[in-house]
Amino acid sequence: MSKIRWGLLSTANINRRLIPAIRASARGELVAVASRSQASAQAYADQWGIPQAFSSYEAMLASDAVDAVYISLPNHLHAEWSIKAMQQGKHVLCEKPFALTLAEVDEMIAVSKQTGRILTEAFMYRHHPQTKIAGEMVQNGRLGRITVVRGVFNFAFDTRENIRLVPEWGGGGLWDVGVYPISMAQYIMGGPPQQVFGNQWIGESGVDEVFSGQMTYADDKVAQISCSFCTPFHTFVEILGTEGRLTMNRPFIGHNDGERQLMFYPKDGEPEEIAVPEKELYLGEVEDMHAVILDGRSPYLSLAETRNHVKTVLALYQSAQTGQIVTL
């Protein structure tokens, strides 16, 4: 096998970003899409020039024409369909949030081990050079001892018809976009928090439409995260250390022409803009799957890290519901 044949499991909006990434990759080809009806699958295949359209998810999973699937379903279906896909011999790139309970995550990991199929979480920004540069600056001590990580992801809906506003489908701001600063904090701190405290505002939808959380780590390090469905689009990350401060203006969604992306403010001296190579935001996660499947390399984002993302979200929700600090 020299190329991975990809199938899209659903016609979700986010596929728009993965399709060019698969096509830009050297070792991937997009061969199929599956939808809950033949008409929708065929219309989507025609629109995007995808060779094969399947009238059900099951039919695509049963096909020998597909090696790996991209799971872009509503959150409550991630575990079920990742497991079914692996049981049918497919490798899986599953969207965030990976699953909604730790029992689901553990079952997904167990099935990956049993079947020998690769399973990874689609956190595209983790593969981007900007994120790696920030991590290297922390690792090599440029910022000194890290004290605080702050991260924000806000946006507002055009319409209230959205899977993110349905409680029983794993809706909610923390599951949807709060997971980004949570995962960034884990990456920078080198592990999950020891304790968390959360506050949420539940909207008419019944899901958290605003969430803020404080997370504490060994050596008195702190991360503060917030997310909102009710304010104009804004993302930001700031990493504070004893030797300086690193700011990321678009930490999770890639470049914006003309805007300074990554700035370092040293304790002494002038602010410095850190150069970030251009890279298509979604390409890294696709290339990583190819390297893991074809070259036997370990996934860049481990399932242990993914499990901690889910564990941290659940702890924050528990804290917000009980008003208590939760120890992980």
Ligand X SMILES: NC(=O)c1ccc[n+]([C@@H]2O[C@H](COP(=O)([O-])OP(=O)(O)OC[C@H]3O[C@@H](n4cnc5c(N)ncnc54)[C@H](OP(=O)(O)O)[C@@H]3O)[C@@H](O)[C@H]2O)c1
Contacts with ligand X by CB under 6 A lie at: 10-14, 35-36, 40, 72-75, 77, 95-96, 122, 124, 163, 176
Exposed, middle or buried, 160 (CB in 10 Å: 0-12/13-18/19+)? exposed
Which of residues 214 and 235 has its CB atom nearest to ligand X in the complex?
235
Which of residues 74 and 266 has its CB atom nearest to ligand X in the complex?
74
Minimum Å gap between C-beta 328 and ligand X is 23
Task: For residue 177, give every residue at least 6 positions away whose Cβ sits within 8 Å of its Cβ, in sequence order, or none.
Answer: 153, 154, 155, 227
Closest C-alpha among 229, 215, 222, 213 to residue 317: 213
The number of CA neighbours under 13 Å toward the Cβ of 179 is: 28
Which of residues 35 and 183 has its CB atom nearest to ligand X in the complex?
35
CB 3 within 8 A of CB 30: no
Which of residues 44 and 217 has its CB atom nearest to ligand X in the complex?
44
Strand order in the sheet with 4-9: 52-54, 28-34, 4-9, 68-71, 91-95, 119-122
Which of residues 12 and 146 has its CB atom nearest to ligand X in the complex?
12
The number of CA neighbours under 13 Å toward the Cβ of 253 is: 15
Measured between alpha carbons, how far is 59 from 141 in angstroms, rounded to an integer?
51
Which of residues 11 and 261 has its CB atom nearest to ligand X in the complex?
11
Which of residues 67 and 121 has its CB atom nearest to ligand X in the complex?
121
Helix (H) or strand (E) holding 250: none
Minimum Å gap between C-beta 184 and ligand X is 14
């998810």: which residue's tokens?
Answer: 57
The DSSP 8-state label assigned to residue 1 in this structure reads -
Minimum Å gap between C-beta 279 and ligand X is 15
Minimum Å gap between C-beta 56 and ligand X is 9
Measured between alpha carbons, how far is 155 from 233 in angstroms, rounded to an integer?
4
Q: Which amino acid is at 26?
A: A
């208590």: which residue's tokens?
Answer: 324
Q: Which amino acid is at 141?
A: G
Minimum Å gap between C-beta 251 and ligand X is 13
Give the three-class secondary structure for 245: strand
Minimum Å gap between C-beta 191 and ligand X is 23
Minimum Å gap between C-beta 103 and ligand X is 19
Measured between alpha carbons, how far is 220 from 198 in angstroms, rounded to an integer?
18
Minimum Å gap between C-beta 152 and ligand X is 16
Which of residues 83 and 143 has its CB atom nearest to ligand X in the complex?
83
CA triple 21-27-30, angle to 5 deg: 55
